[in-house]
Amino acid sequence: MSKSIGVISGKGGVGKTTTVINLGSALNQFGHEVIVVDANISSPNMGTYLGNPIVAATLNDVIMGKKTMQDAMVMHQSGLRTVFSSISFEDIKNTDVKKLAETLKQMKGFGDIILIDGSSGQTDETIEVVKASDEVLVVTTPDLTSVTDTVRTIKIANEHGANVLGIVITMAKNQLHEMQVKNIEEMTNHKVISVIPEDEMVKLAAKTKYPITYSYPDSPAAVNYKKLAAYLIGQKYEHEVASKEEGNILSSILGGLK
């Protein structure tokens, strides 16, 4: 049975899209058939992270009735199935966001887990993603402004009957100005289920146009994304560092892609 998980945030710039891509990649590596969907119609950027592949159809085309959902699904070189939104201003302008939830529900049955990259903030797009999702993850950075916006976003999820799986903290630097996990949990009334550390390898992975869990699987952020994936499917994950030979082979492959 397919399960749709909406990934939303109270504000932009907190690593929501990075979380969708890498969580999807990790779940895929654990043997699940995953589809990641860029449902951020007004500000799509998943394609940028994954090399801006040329696609035959976008989510916008499906919403507008020009293409089917199957037409819009493409396989990334990392093995991750994706559905991108159009970066064309005309397509963005002509896409009826109020049809987003109805369209996203067409994904059911195409994969085990559908990860939906939603809009940030308290917008109609966010509401549509929540309505289309069985469960919701909320991404935030550990600062007061982001967490305050997270509280508002959780309220939207609650109002539409979505099950909030928990909070994912990203870009954690373990600095004094950052909110502690227990304080974030008290403020949001939800459990923090993952803390993704600030990791320079995230930027390097973006350069390779691959998920960090694929490009740099031993990096701190990659390991924690895999732990998050394991948590969501009820498994335990013990990280094993790749052998030197395996690492050299992967580095050689990725080096040729830069």
Say yes or no to pLDDT of 192 above 70: yes
The average pLDDT across 212-236 equals 95
Q: pLDDT class for 6, splitting at 50, 70, 90?
A: very high
Helices (H) and strands (E) in the chain, counts: 13, 8
Summarize the chain as % helix, strand, coil (round to 5): 45, 20, 35
Q: Give the HSE-up count for residue 11: Cα atoms under 13 Å, Cβ half-sphere.
A: 15
As a CATH number, domain 3-255 is 3.40.50.300
Task: Say what the pLDDT of residue 54 is.
Answer: 87
Task: Say what the pLDDT of residue 249 is.
Answer: 45
**Domain boundaries of the chain, sorted by first residue:** 3-255
67-123: per-residue pLDDT in tens?
999 999 999 999 999 999 999 999 999 999 999 999 999 998 899 999 999 999 989
